[in-house]
Amino acid sequence: MLAMDYRGPKRVRAVQKPMPEIKHPQDAIVRVLRACICGSDLHLYNGNVPDTRVGSTFGHEFVGEIVEVGADVTKVKVGDRVIVPFNIACGECHFCRQQMYGNCQESNTESGAIGGIYGYSHTAGGFNGGQAEYARVPYANVGPVIIPTDMDLDDAVMLTDVIPTGYQGAEMAGIQPGDTVVVFGAGPIGIVAARCAWLFGAGRVIIIDKEEYRLDFARNYSYCEAYNFEEVGDPVMFIKKITDWMGADCVIDAVGAEAAGNALQTITGRKLLLQAGSATALHWAINAVKKGGVVSIVGVYGPTDNLVPIGNMMNKGLTIRGNQTSVKRLLPRLIDHVQNGILDPKGLITHRLPLEEVADGYRMFSAKLDNCIKTVLLPPTANQ
Binding site for another protein (CB under 8 A): 7-13, 23-27, 47, 50-57, 72, 88, 90, 92-94, 97-100, 105-113, 116, 122-123, 125-128, 138-139, 168, 171-172, 174, 273, 303-304, 319, 321, 323, 326, 329, 359-364, 367, 369-370
Name the minimum Å distance from CB 30 to another protein: 15
Q: CB of residue 140 vs another protein: minimum separation in angstroms?
A: 11
CB of 238 to another protein, least distance (A): 28
* Between 70 and 235, CB nearer to another protein: 70
Helix/strand/coil (H/E/C) assignment for every residue in 219-270: HHHHCCEEEECCCCCCHHHHHHHCCCCCCEEEEEECCCCECCCCHHHHHHHH
Task: Tell the smallest beta-carbon distance from residue 70 to another protein (Å).
Answer: 9
| Nearest alpha-carbon partner for 346 in 157, 207, 215, 149 | 157
Rounded to whole angstroms, the Cα distance separating 116 from 273 reads 24
Least spacing, CB of residue 203 vs another protein, in Å: 21
Q: Which is nearer to another protein, 127 or 221 (CB)?
A: 127
CB nearer to another protein: give 98 or 176.
98
- CA pair distance 379, 130, nearest whole angstrom: 10
Minimum Å gap between C-beta 354 and another protein is 14
The CA-based angle 361-367-369, given to 5 degrees, is: 70
Q: Is 99 or 266 the residue whose CB approaches another protein more closely?
A: 99
Q: Which is nearer to another protein, 110 or 230 (CB)?
A: 110
Q: How far apart are CA 134 and CA 21, in angstroms?
A: 10
Q: Give the residues across from 270 on adjacent strands.
A: none
Would you say 116 or 269 has its CB closer to another protein? 116
- Give me the least distance between CB of 79 and another protein, in Å please: 23
* 156 or 374: CB nearest another protein: 374
41: closest CA among 374, 382, 378? 374
Q: Select 123 or 180, whichever has its Cβ closest to another protein.
A: 123
Whole-number minimum distance, CB 252 to another protein, in Å? Answer: 15
- Least separation, in Å, of the C-beta of 137 and another protein? 10
Closer residue to another protein (CB): 176 or 237: 176
User: What is the amino acid identity at position 324?
Assistant: Q
